Amino acid sequence: MSDTPAPEKHEFKAEVAAVLKLVTHSLYTNREIFLRELISNASDAIDKARYTALVDTSLEGQELEPSVRLSADPERGVLVIEDNGIGMTPDEARANLGTIAHSGTLAFLEQAAKAQADGKSPDVQLIGQFGVGFYSAFMVADRVDVFTRSALPGSEGVHWSSTGDGSFTIAPSDKAGRGTRIEVHLKEDAKEYLDHYRLENIVKRYSNFVMYPVQFAVKKEDQDEPEWTQLNEIGAFWTQNASELNDEDYKEFYKHVMGGFVLPGDEPLGRMHLSMDAPIQFHAVLFIPGRRPADLFNEESKHVQLFARRVMVMENCDKLLPTYLRFMRGVVDSEDLPLNVSREMLQENKNLSAIRRQLTRKTLRLLSDTAKEDRERYEKVFENFGVFLKEGLHLDAGHKDELTELLRFGSTGHEAKWVSLREYVDTMPEGQQAIYYITGRSQEELRGSPHLEALRDRGYAVIMMTDAVDEWVVQDLAEYDGKKLISVTAGDLNLDGSTGDEEKKDDSDDKDDGLAAELAPLLERATELLADRVSAVRVSRRLTSSASCLVDDAGGMGRNMERILQAAGREVSSRPRVLELNGGHSFVKAACALVQSGDDAARADAYIELLHDQAHLSEGEVPDPKGTVARIQSMLDALVEK
Ligand code: ADP
């Protein structure tokens, strides 16, 4: 190429330059992952070529057998990675290898480099996830040459070159055939990456399930042409017979599905491998992940990969499972889907809907089997993904029963950390008619709630709901196994299983009527005094040791729901609640006597205010801190003066 024009020099974008600096100078641990990154790019490029060929028949090189080829040139100290994928036009090379597509990369790398400087081991494995894949070559190279030619007809070859120091050059290249050839000029201390067995080991570790053969050139002395040996297993993992695969195989495949990043302890919590022939043919390998992926609440969140006839057609297909099962990860491959499918078409595709129905059913079965077989493992599943199952309860009426059985809650009456509604009902003492629950911010706070007292005395367990979505769960559920779900903070609680709105009378009602008559002067004065803060004052059926508590009006929005909506920035004005007083409590009796005597009206009012303060305090709220402190102080002063 004697008359080729001089290479054009380009500066890297600032962020790339900074990333490169960190990659080349600061990050040394686990350098071998550069190979996985380059092989994965090569495999993506072949995917793209195959996919594009479906809609563009003019694409060059359609007759080629896909392959990724590695070869070592010990004399020049160069490792070559060559693919016959889609390649790049000069413009694409300039754009793709001069910028960084993913935001957050630099910040992540800076953190990693700092961790390393502090003697900690950074998660350098995560580099691929942040899209510095290609640049990771500079961990082992002091120069990288890329020779590439796009498969689009009439494309020119291009030579991209950089020493990773802030700029790169672009020049024409006479590269023959479509695809990309990357020459990695290994640093002095990275010559190990020329070794056949070292490379084979890395490929097996990271790239075993790549869809295309990854070959290595072995040159025999008596032969001119190298012989290509295959380093990976290839073949679609999911088409294998499940009975011939073991736990290790699945663990490896899981790693592959997660992009190679599985930290110890994050192994999958469950898996299923389906191979269906009728009515729709498909294979699926799906996992319940070992931890909640960070991006689950993000629209772009990765879902299940969709293949049609072993060609990946969608990396992130959200139509294979209902949204509430978006935490599942894995692969689905079907013979019965068109290859050139778009997201819009998928929506209408009958076969896909059939696959989705099957996968939904099987996933719920997998979850319920896990719950039956291994309580501890299911608890982990629930802690990670329970919130999604609750979302499902709201969205998927068709699977309401299965989803209800999968729910777990804390309970005041059970030793176990989590109980199912089934367990709760099966262990209800005789006479208990309903399922009682309380909602709030934390189990700790709820356990101290005065609302639980009468239930505790009767030996009734109370389900503690501390997740914001639980407020919706109880609305969706309303009852279970013929038993109503009743909030212990709502309405006039009758422990025979009904709320006070239903006109029901029993012995305890007569007793209450008696107490109400006894306390009438106190109730009357308190109603007057607190008129703008509570909706009513009455004698409580639920308190046995505390003096007072606040109760949600029957039918009204619960205080916890108000709190959740307020936290979400919604304007919700707190509705006044009912103040309940414990007629058996000595302080309440004393307050009543004081009101009745008419001796010291100011003091009697202070007592009433204190009963109201206490009810708030037991819920962790102090609506009037200054007043509360003043009232407590004056009581203490009175004690000291005595
Ligand atoms: P990512 O692969 O995460 O997008 P990379 O830095 O590894 O990030 O690569 C940047 C881009 O360069 C890729 O998105 C792709 O468009 C292009 N590219 C890299 N390697 C190849 C290749 N072997 N063939 C074709 N294009 C490639």
Q: What is the CATH number of the domain that holds 580?
A: 1.20.120.790
User: What's the 135 CA to ligand 1 centre distance in angstroms?
Assistant: 10
- Our answer on whether the CB atom of 52 is closer than 6 Å to any ligand 1 atom is no
Alpha carbon of 41 to ligand 1 centroid (Å):
5
More confident residue, 357 or 306: 357
401-453 pLDDT tens trace: 999 999 999 999 999 999 999 999 999 999 999 999 998 888 988 998 998 99
**Are residue 50 and residue 180 in the same domain, yes or no?**
yes
In testing the pocket of ligand 1, which one of 15, 41, 132 has its CB within 8 Å of the most ligand atoms?
A: 41
Provide mean pLDDT across the span 179-203.
Answer: 95
pLDDT at 504 over 50: no
Cα radius of gyration rounded to whole Å, the chain: 34
Listed range (67-71, 205-209, 585-589, 598-602) with the worst mean pLDDT = 205-209
Quick check: 298 pLDDT over 70? no
Confidence band of 554 (pLDDT split at 50, 70, 90): low
Q: Say yes or no: CB of residue 41 within 6 Å of ligand 1.
A: yes
And the tokens for 59? Answer: 């694409």
User: What is the pLDDT at residue 397?
Assistant: 93
User: Is 127 in the same domain as 257?
Assistant: no
Q: Do 539 and 581 contact (CB within 8 A), yes or no?
A: yes
Of 173, 196, 230, which residue is a domain's last? Answer: 230
How confident is residue 136, by pLDDT bands cut at 50, 70 and 90?
confident
Pick from 97, 134, 139, 148 the residue to mutate for probing ligand 1's pocket: most ligand atoms within 8 Å of its CB: 134
Please indicate, yes or no, whether residues 435 and 390 belong to a single structural domain of this protein: no
Output the pLDDT for position 372: 96
- Indicate which CATH number applies to the domain containing 63: 3.30.565.10
d(CA 167, CA 95): 13
Residues paired with 534 in a beta bridge: 577
Q: Closest ligand 1 atom to the C-alpha of 182?
A: 23
**Which residue has its alpha carbon closest to ligand 1 atom 10?**
96
Distance 97 CA to ligand 1 centre (A): 7
Strands 534-539, 577-581: pairing kind: parallel
Average pLDDT for 456-469: 92
Alpha helices (H) along 26-145: 33-55, 90-96, 105-117
Omega before 279 within 30 of 0, i.e. cis: yes
Could you tell me if the CB of 45 is within 6 A of ligand 1? yes
Question: Are 589 and 513 in the same domain?
Answer: yes
Give residue 605's pLDDT.
94
Of all protein residues, the one whose alpha carbon is nearest to atom 13 of ligand 1 is: 96
Q: What size, in residues, is the chain? A: 642
* Residue among 462, 493, 487 nearest 473 (CA): 487
| pLDDT for the residue 261 | 63
**CATH for 309:** 3.30.230.80
Asked whether residue 546 is domain-assigned, the answer is yes
- Rounded to the nearest angstrom, the gap between the alpha carbon of residue 243 and the centroid of all alpha carbons in its chain is 30
Closest CA to ligand 1's atom 20 = 41
Residue 617: which domain range? 409-641
Q: How far is the CA of 404 from the centre of ligand 1 (A)?
A: 45
Place of tokens 């790049």: 88
The answer to whether the beta carbons of residues 539 and 524 sit under 8 Å apart is: no
Q: Is 179 in the pocket of ligand 1 (CB under 6 A)?
A: no
Q: Ligand 1 in contact with 96 (CB < 6 A)? A: yes
Backbone phi and psi for residue 305, each to the nearest 5 degrees, phi listed first = -80, 135
**Does residue 325 sit in the same domain as residue 363?**
yes
DSSP result, 533-553: TEEEEEE-SS-SSSSEEEEBP
Q: Are 375 and 469 part of one and the same domain?
A: no
Mean per-residue pLDDT, 368-394: 95
If residue 404 lies in a helix (H) or strand (E), which one and from where to where? helix 400-406
pTM metric for this prediction: 0.66
pLDDT of residue 130 exceeding 60: no
pLDDT value at 44 more than 50: yes
Q: Do 101 and 172 lie in a common domain? A: yes
Per the listing, tokens 């009682």 go with: 436
Cβ distance 284 to 359 under 8 Å?
yes
What confidence tier does 1 reach under pLDDT thresholds 50, 70, 90?
A: very low
Assess if residue 187 is contained within a domain.
yes
Give yes or no: residues 310 and 437 share one domain. Answer: no
pLDDT (average), residues 335-343: 70
Whether 264 and 321 map to the same domain: the answer is yes
Render pLDDT for 57-112 as a digit per residue (tens, 0 to 9): 899 998 999 999 999 999 999 999 999 999 999 999 998 898 765 556 677 667 76
DSSP letters, 463-499, are: EEE-STTHHHHHHHHSEETTEEEEETTBSSEETTTEE
Going by alpha carbons, the residue nearest to atom 11 of ligand 1 is 96
Give distance in angstroms: CA of 25 to centre of ligand 1: 22
pLDDT score for 22: 77
Q: How far apart are CA 478 and CA 435, in angstroms?
A: 10
**Do residues 226 and 267 share a domain?**
no
pLDDT of 221 > 80? The answer is no
CA gap 437, 418 in Å, rounded: 14
Q: How far is the CA of 287 from the centre of ligand 1 (A)?
A: 28
CB 372 within 8 A of CB 414: no
Quote the number of domains for the chain: 3
Contacts of 403 (CB under 8 A, 6+ apart): 364, 389, 392, 393, 396
Domain's final residue, options 230, 255, 280: 230
Instruction: Check whether residue 425 and residue 341 sit in a common domain.
Output: no
Residue 560 lies in a domain: yes
Residue 130 CB neighbours (<10 A): 19
Residues 158 and 281 in one domain: no
List, in sequence order, the alpha helices (H) in 99-238. 105-117, 196-207
Distances (CA, A) of 167 to 20, 159, 444: 10, 14, 58
Amino acid in the structure at residue 527:
T
Q: What is the pLDDT of residue 509?
A: 62
10-14, 101-105, 462-466: least confident range: 101-105
From 230, 251, 269, give the residue that closes a domain. 230
- Residue whose CA lies nearest to ligand 1 atom number 14: 96
Q: Give the C-alpha separation, 392 to 324, whole Å.
A: 5
* pLDDT higher than 50, residue 399: yes
Query: Strands 214-218 and 227-230, how do they pair?
Result: antiparallel
Q: Is 1 part of any domain?
A: no
Cα 96 to ligand 1 centre (Å): 6
Is residue 2 situated within a structural domain? Answer: no
Q: Please indicate, yes or no, if residue 521 is contained in any of the structural domains.
A: yes
Distance 194 CA to ligand 1 centre (A): 23
Q: Is residue 3 part of a domain?
A: no
